[in-house]
Each structure stands twice: as structure tokens, then as C-alpha cells.
Amino acid sequence: MDITNASRSWKKYCCSVVLMMMPIPLFAQGVAITGVGPSNRAVGGVGVAMTTDATGALHTNPATISSVEGNEADLGLEMVWMNTKLGSSLSSVGLSGEVESSADELYVPSLGVVWGADDTDWTFGVGAFGVAGFSADYEPSATSPISAPPQFGGLGNIIGSMRMFQVVPTVAYQVSDDVSIGFAPTLSIAQVRIEPMIFGPAQPNGTYTTHVDESTTYGGGFQVGVLWKYDENIQFGGALKSPQWFEDFDYTSMTTAGGSRSDSITIEYPMIASLGVGYSGACGWTFGVDTRYFFYSDAAGFGDAGFRPDGSSRGLGWDNVFAVAVGAEYAITDDLQWRVGYSFNENPISAAVVSLNAGTPLIQQHGISTGFGYRLTSDTTLSLATIYVPSEKLGGPLQSPFGEVPGSEVEIEVDYSFSVAAGVSYQF
């Protein structure tokens, strides 16, 4: 059978696999990370009503910076390893194969500073940290249809990367002895590379442009929060993060004729609503539970699905997601704390759109974390954390602009996900 003719339609619909090539290495709830900094990461990202450090408070709920003890500065770094695979089959041409990503490990920095104004009810802070990131590189394959060279209807070399960094100048006000409120504008910078350029129209021969440059753009939004101390042991919190509205990502790529073409795409970071409860005072234990809801279906680049008449991809077709995290901290001694956490989230990717997300292994639903904090001096604390996510697989039929492709399957797999974070906190 002529593989070129049999798989011609792949040139339009398979390219959506790199719409958002996001093997998120941060063990995320969709594209949003579960936490920031080693202390917050060790407790599963819990922080809406439970405070472990300045960085986690700045990221999770701006009102909780009022509960940070004294003035604090945190500096952290996380190193992430993740192995992902992309497989596909097409029975009509007898092809089946799998490609393993050759992307390198990623590094995620975090910085947080919180300080109070003397003799006032105001607390101030500023955070700067990575909030999303990925790196994937799938080489061409002679056996996997989706990774076949473009002349055979595949995508060839599939490359995707993203770095999103956020700065959050924050203020909190102690309304009463029991209630604090907080606000922060969120300033973001993002770098995204997508190859081939499936957001743009297909070329006359049905393929997409390649040699796509990396695009950097800026965006912003805000977050608000409240913290209510019910009694000396129990407190409740709530937070709302607005979408991050970015300027368009502008790209230049190369056509098969050797010319250049410009394309622009729109991507938003989703709105996130959170509620949490914290408890302390049980024989050295502190507990926290957070729930979150991610509005992916309303975020540009995520909610839409399918293809336009010109062959360009509309989006990932993600569903909204509910997530829950449980964390605990135990004071082994006055200088040593043990932390542990667990997080769960629904999968934003349904079977109906798995082929649109073939290069996007954001299918993790369970995360297990632990770590320690050790006071080196009266002012300095060292924190360590490790995060593990069990392997996951997700497969489904290929959806084309003309409907489901008979005898087709695309499978994404996260073979392993492992992360180590370290940081130092300084009281001043």
C-alpha cells in the first residue's frame, strides 16, 4: 500500500500533537504547577490556609503572608527529570511505533521575600518563581505514523518547550485579629517554541512550516485571597487567581519552498479558584487541605478543539479540572521538621481529544512528596524536598477534521517523573 496516499490526511490533523508540547516537569495539575519552593512542594503544594514559608504563601494565597513569622527571605531551586514517550499506530498502513523524548532535565528557581511594617497591620512581599515549564524533543520515526517524515504524512521531528516565570509584588492587611486579606498583581514572562507550526495554516502540499523560532512575550493578571482564623488551632482560606492574559506569541518559520512566514497565536494561563483549611496544635503536627478548580475550558489555547478550514489547530480541547492536596508538617525537634504531601487532580484530557494532546503528556493525576526543614542557625533554615509521580498512560483514537480515523490510535506515556528541590530561608 502507498504510505504517502494512505496517510496524507495526517499532514493536517496529526500536527495538533504539538499544540502545547507540555510534558510539564513540575508534576502539575494540567499546566499549573502544584507548588513553589521546597517547603511548599514537600507538603503537596498545600498553602491556602497552611503556611510553611514565604515563597509558598506568595504563590498560593496572598493573604497568608500575614502569618509568616517575622521577616523572611527564601531562595530555592528544583531539578526535574521526566521520561515521556509518544506512540501511534495506523492499521490501514500496518505501522506502529514509539518515540522517547530526548529532552534534558529542567531547573525551576524560586525566590520569596516577606516583611512587615512596624507597628502597622500591613505585610508586604515579593515573589519571583517559575510557574510552568516543559521540554520535549521527539525524533522522526520510520515506524510511528505520527513521527514519520512529513513527506510520508507525519510530523517528523517534534520539538516543544515552554518557560513561564512570574513576579508577584504582594500586600496583605490584617483586618482584625482573625481576618487577613491580600492582593497581588501578577507579572509574567513566557517563552514558547512549537515545531512544526501547527497553529498556522497548512501549506499547499498539506504540511506545516518548520524551523520555528522561539517566541517570548509578556502578560499579567492578579490574585486575591483571604485568611480567617476560626480559633487558635483552625483557620480557613480562599484565593482566586485571574487568567494570565498574554500578548500574542509571534513566530517566524520556514516554508517548504524556502521562504519565511509569520504567524501569531494566543495562549492564556487559566483562572484558578482555591479553598483550604489548616490545623495546628496536635502534638507538633500541622495539617492542611486545599481544593482547587482550574478553568481550562475558558482559557485561550486550551478550551477549543479541532481544526479550522485552513488546517490550523484551534486548541487542546481541555476540560475544567478539580484538584485536592493534603499536606502535613511534624516538628521532630525544635530544629527539625518533617513534611509530607499528596495531591490528586482530574485529567483535563478526555479520550475524545487525546490525539490533540499526543505530544502533551499532562496526564499525571497523583503526586507524592516529602521533605525536611533543618534550622542551621537561629536565622537560617535549610529545606529539602523530593516529589514522585507514578507512571501514567493515556490512549485514544485519532480525530481528524473529517471525524475519527478508523484503525488509528495515539498513546502518550509518562514513564517516570522525579524531582529534587533545595532551598534556604533567612529570618531578618
Whether the CB-CB separation of 346 and 365 falls below 8 Å is answered with yes
Whether the CB-CB separation of 15 and 196 falls below 8 Å is answered with yes
Q: What is the pLDDT averaged over residues 308-312?
A: 88
pLDDT for residue 286:
97
User: How many angstroms from the chain centroid is the CA of residue 361?
Assistant: 11
Tell which wins on pLDDT, 356 or 20. Answer: 356
3-427 belongs to which CATH class? Answer: mainly beta
**Phi-psi region at 43: left, alpha or beta (left = phi > 0; alpha = psi -120 to 50):** alpha
Q: What is the pLDDT averaged over residues 145-150?
A: 86
Highest-pLDDT range among 22-36, 97-111, 367-381: 367-381
pLDDT for residue 404:
82
Overall pTM > 0.95: no
User: What percent of the chain is modeled with pLDDT above 70?
Assistant: 93
pLDDT for residue 27:
57
Q: What is the pLDDT averaged over residues 183-210?
A: 90
The beta strands (E) that lie in 295-401 are given as 321-331, 336-345, 366-375, 380-389, 392-396, 399-400
